[in-house]
Amino acid sequence: MRSVEVITMVTFSETTQVSPMELCEPPCMTAALSPGLRRKKMLWQNAVKHIMIQQELSAQVGVEPAQKIFVTDAYMEEINKQIRNKASRGVTKRRSSTFRMHSSHPRGSTSTQNSVRASFHDYASDADFFLHWGHTIRGVYIPTLRHTFKSRDLEKLYQQHYSHQRRNSLAISNVIDAVAKLHVLVLYLGLAPEPVTDTLRGCLTGVFMVLAIALCNIVLTCKDSISPRWLHFAGLASWLSQTTQVLGGLVYGLEKDPSWYVLYTLFATYTLLPLPLLWAMCAGSLTSILHLLVEITIITVFAKGLLYLGMNTAGLFIHYLTDHAQRQVFLETRRCIEGRVKLEQENQRQERLVLSILPRFVALEMIADMSSLEDELNPHEFHKIYIHQYKDVSILFADIKGFTLLSMNLSAQDLVRTLNELFGRFDRLAEEHHCLRIKILGDCYYCVSGVPEPQRAHARHCVELGLAMISTIQYVRQQLNFDMDMRIGIHSGSVLCGVLGLQKWQFDVWSWDVGIANMLEAGGIPGRIHISRATLDCLEGMYKTEDGHGRDRNEFLQKHNIDTFLICAQEEKNKVEHVEPLKVQKTNRTWHQDMPFGNIMDMNSILASFTNGSLPNIWQSSSKEINKRIKQAIEVQSSERMHREHITPLTLVFKDTHIEDKFCQMRDEMFNSNLVCSFILLLFLMATQALVPAPRLFPAVLQFSVFLLAYMLLLLVALAEEFKCAPAALQRFCCWIHENNSARNLLTLTAILINFGLVSTDMVIKDLSSRPFTLCNHPEVFVLSGVIAMVTCAVFLRLNSLLKLTVLLLVVAVYSYLIHLAFLSLTRHDVLHGRKAISILLMLMFIVAVFYNGRQWEATARLDFLWRLQAQQEVEDMMELREHNECLLHNILPLHVARHFLDRSKYDEELYSQSYDEVGVMFASIAGFNEYFEQKEIKHEGVDCLRLLNEIIAGFDELLEESYFHFVEKIKTIGSCYMAASGLAPDRQASMDQWNHLSELVLFALAMQETLREINRLSAKNFKLRVGIAHGPVVAGVIGATKPQYDIWGSTVNLASRMDSTGVSGRIQVPEATRKILAEWGFILELRGEIFVKGVSETQGKVRTYFISTMRSKRANVVTDGRTGGRTGGRMTLAGVVFGLVQARNKEKIRESNTGFSLAPCSMQC
């Protein structure tokens, strides 16, 4: 049966009634905290929660949005600003929505966000994806034939992405063609005057109609029809069929002039057939030229040539702008997928970072627990602890004898490399022997067997691990030729395990049994395994032992009358030679250096962008995965699924009215291009009509002048913001029009009506004329001009498709009446009806084609908007995770060390190590806490004790947020001992202020004492802090491959530890050398005397030590930056400031918690 109890989420806020002996929440730890500190406090719980959420998201198929899409006014303003600035720059280099999002959603001025924003400033713009992105002149796009992606794979995916849509367009084109032929055939059968000749042409009409239907069927049913190359050739075949009919003149028994069909062929070539722009231009030009070659009259040739040229121009703009828009959608789709990929990568990295702090079983327990909670955690429950209690476990402590001398004889890099290799080997041995490494304390290594999975042979596993560790250290001793050995202590019992504090989280174990195991190691013998009677009983006689006499070497063991034993040396040898030969062989194999963060150093591919802006290279490294996801998205038709989820099928408006409103506010970056193209069509129509002599010159000139003036006003209003010389009021009006959908629609309808009005009014004027040679004598020119005017609707791509349909129906209704008037002069009744029918048929064909093209483009534009928003949310989530990841990394490592890992190359195999000559080291122990814990544990109240310890450590951690302690760095906690250092940051001051950090460390210790006094007052306890501080050279480094850990080593660390262990409760003890420096910085110290310090006094004699006085001066003098000033007249000046700071903050939080609102914000980070 599993001997484990899980104590869930214990908080101070759960205490409802507080007696004098009960714990209550200190005011400095209430919910009235700044959002930044609140987020940092819950960071590791939030990190695990993010893992849970992202695992659910990653289980979804494709990239279909799994959450509601949001859009803000600030984001819309930024989009419009980017569109406007892009047009103003002349060269189109549209930045990604990623960059736009970051610019519009600042999250503060932290270094994280500054660096992230800086790196995204260099993020690949749209232009970086293309061979040639093109140019804009005053906001008008200039088409280019090289508008393709640089990457062949990306271009291939783009073609595949729109293959379904282009296949449908090809099918629609052939359906329209077939229906038109059917109508022509019906007209032929009813009105054919020449049965013999026209019968053959009628049969050919039917044949081509069948061919169109067959091609449509093949396109929709053939498996290879979605291949881009196949579609290109299918489109070419469709164009060839239509052009052949035009040139042959075979299929129109009544209509000898196929000009109307030429216009449809040209329009379909550019907008419906899946042809590249170059192919479409060549096909359209060839169709126009070949048909003009068979014309008879010069006027007709020039008139139709201008109309064909106008149609080709409109088709060119429509094709280019549509392709441009589709590529934009594709890039936004890619960015969304890229954001999701990076989000998953960030989540994986976060999981690895969390698992480098927490064992997997703790993390999984948190995930299971948080899955049942609300999305927002209770803000009053900050200091939660997840404590697991395990019984029937064995604890192993191992210490390296001779390490201090070794650290003096090795360089910093060699020392860190040796420790990393040694402890990496120990980690592998621990895993092989079913032990869980807990922590590395300098040169001390300890682990537990029986956690998390119960082990019946937990004691044996620890002994086997101890034997393997001794064998390993013997091998190391031979390799280094240095006298070193292992001192190992093992005890069996129960433990409480979890994570305490707010910074530098490390999984740890606590219990009275852990303390006994530690003392067994301290009282052990090098090269031997020192065990307790509890462990001996668990071994059940498997090993030969002898009396350990531990009480003779350790005061703790003697005081508590603990019997100890040693595993016999002969038994160790037998075990090594016979029981574990394979493990020894593994131990003696060639050493392989495990890199710290080796299993998470691929985080550099993303996190390095925080500091060195290497995202373009990162994109290349992850492009294969992104392309793979895009292909998957194409297969599952993610765009279609997004369309169904967010867009109404009939009207194509967003189901969410808020998104619809924001979409209408977005600028149409192609509006200027559309307006200019429409103006070009107007010029072609004017030129066409100018070829036909007017009955009176003045009305024609007046007509042209009015329409030109009206259009020039439209252009002036639309393009005013592109000219700096324009009046400011006009520019603001122009900007309002571009950002107001109704105003844009009004200008669009005006432009369409101008083009339509030019044709219709000219028809009316000339129809009223008595001149024999007018446009009415060439009604087909009038009809074709009307079709060109109708194409103006297709030019304005952003115009709502239903509004387009309404305009087109009104235009056709007016045209039908004018067509009736235009053909009245024809003498032959059959020709009259035939041409009228053909003209109306042409109008209907264009209605269908223009409406389908407009609806298709509108859906594309709306999907583009959705993908932008989705990509924005993905990147926002990614940025939040990045911030979490960097904070998590900083919670494992100091800031400057984290930057080292972020900045270095992924393939840099150098371990981090650094030598320092002037570092302050502090050990602060809560005197009497171990005895208090022992009493509580006997009463089965160990969890309450850890709850109190968590609040104390959290209080200490909160002090580090103050700018006063800028140079103080928490290293770790060792039970109830708090270790910190100063002077490790590379930006510390030099010259006369080189020891400013040491004074900060002393002030930090004084503030810790004040914090502990406040917690004592609230919890009715009487704990005191025993502090030891020393200064001097240290070696810093990161070791451990599976659980990276930053640590410092050296004689200074040992001396500071001894200053603590030999100190006095409530006092801060320092050696002579440290006293001299602190005295210069205004501190008053009192002599304690000379004491024996283990590790120093053996060679140098007793050490003279001093206590820092706790008296305070009434004077205060602080520099304006919030940190302590230089040397002052009295050392209590600085301490008084810190004490006042702590007390003022506590009182502030009491007021906030009582009133329910915050007072004026404090300039300090709280």
pLDDT digit string, tens, across residues 620-660? 446 777 777 777 776 666 677 778 888 888 888 888 888 88
pLDDT value at position 1027? 95
pLDDT value at position 987? 62
Going through 504-556 in order, the beta strands assigned E by DSSP cover: 508-510, 529-532, 545-547
| pLDDT above 60 (res 872) | yes
- Mean confidence (pLDDT) of the chain: 74
Residue 1049 phi, psi dihedral angles, 5° rounding: -135, 160
First-to-last CA distance in the chain? 46
Binding-site residue positions: 399-404, 441-443, 487, 972, 1047-1049, 1054-1058, 1094
- For residue 575, give Cα distances in angstroms to 200, 464, 466, 471, 1057: 104, 8, 11, 11, 36
| pLDDT above 80 (res 608) | no
Q: Which of 904-913, 1013-1022, 1143-1152 has the highest mean pLDDT?
A: 1013-1022
pLDDT per residue over 1049-1098, tens digit each? 888 998 999 999 999 999 999 999 999 988 888 888 999 999 988 878 77
pLDDT value at position 1029? 95
What does the pLDDT average to over 279-297? 84
- When mean pLDDT is compared across 87-91, 605-609, 630-634, the lowest value belongs to 605-609
51 touches 367 (CB < 8 A): yes
For residue 4, give the nearest of 669, 429, 453, 507 by alpha carbon.
453
- For residue 831, give Cα distances in angstroms to 6, 204, 457, 938: 95, 21, 105, 112
pLDDT per residue over 787-801, tens digit each? 898 899 999 988 888
pLDDT value at position 763? 63
Helix (H) or strand (E) holding 1088: strand 1085-1091
pLDDT per residue over 722-731, tens digit each? 888 888 899 8
* Dihedral Cα 609, 614, 617, 622, nearest 10 deg: 10
Q: In this prediction, what percent of the chain has a pLDDT beyond 70?
A: 68
Catalytic positions are: 399-400, 443
Please give the CATH number for the structural domain made up of 377-594: 3.30.70.1230
470 touches 573 (CB < 8 A): no
Binding-site residue positions for Mg(2+): 399-400, 443
How does 639-649 read in b/e, with b if 16+ C-beta sit within 10 Å? Answer: bebbbeebbee
Confidence of residue 697 (pLDDT cuts 50, 70, 90): low
761 touches 703 (CB < 8 A): yes
3-state secondary structure of 1106: strand
Cα–Cα dist 584/474, whole Å: 11
| pLDDT above 70 (res 675) | yes
* Torsion sign (Cα): 755, 760, 765, 771: positive
> Angle CA(1030)–CA(1031)–CA(1032) in degrees, nearest 5?
135
What is 288-305 written as a DSSP string? HHHHHTT---HHHHHHHH
**Which tokens in the block code for residue 450?**
């029986």
- When mean pLDDT is compared across 121-135, 137-151, 458-472, the lowest value belongs to 121-135
pLDDT value at position 508? 87
What does the pLDDT average to over 567-580? 50
Confidence of residue 443 (pLDDT cuts 50, 70, 90): confident
| pLDDT above 60 (res 254) | no
CB count in 10 Å sphere of residue 106 = 11
Computed on alpha carbons and rounded to an integer, the radius of gyration of the chain in Å comes to 41
Intrachain domains 377-594 and 914-1155 with the same fold: yes
* Beta pairing, strands 385-401 & 4-10: antiparallel
CA diameter of the chain: 134
pLDDT value at position 397? 95
What fold characterizes domain 914-1155?
Alpha-Beta Plaits (3.30.70)
> Angle CA(206)–CA(211)–CA(217) in degrees, nearest 5?
125
- When mean pLDDT is compared across 370-379, 434-443, 506-515, the lowest value belongs to 370-379
Contacts of residue 593, defined as CB under 8 A and 6 or more positions apart, other chains included, come to 417, 420, 421, 424, 909, 911
Cα–Cα dist 933/392, whole Å: 19
DSSP classification of residue 149: B
488 touches 397 (CB < 8 A): yes
Can you say how many angstroms the Cα of residue 724 is from the centroid of all Cα atoms in its chain? 38
What does the pLDDT average to over 51-59? 54
15 exposure class (CB count in 10 Å sphere: 0-12, 13-18, 19+) = middle
pLDDT per residue over 736-766, tens digit each? 898 888 999 999 999 999 998 888 876 666 5
Contacts of residue 864, defined as CB under 8 A and 6 or more positions apart, other chains included, come to 325, 328, 329, 332
Q: In this prediction, what percent of the chain has a pLDDT beyond 90?
A: 19
Pick the more confident residue, 1166 or 850: 850
Confidence of residue 1153 (pLDDT cuts 50, 70, 90): very low
pLDDT value at position 581? 35
Where along the chain do its domains lie? 163-294, 377-594, 914-1155
| pLDDT above 60 (res 826) | no
Confidence of residue 11 (pLDDT cuts 50, 70, 90): very low
What does the pLDDT average to over 760-783? 59
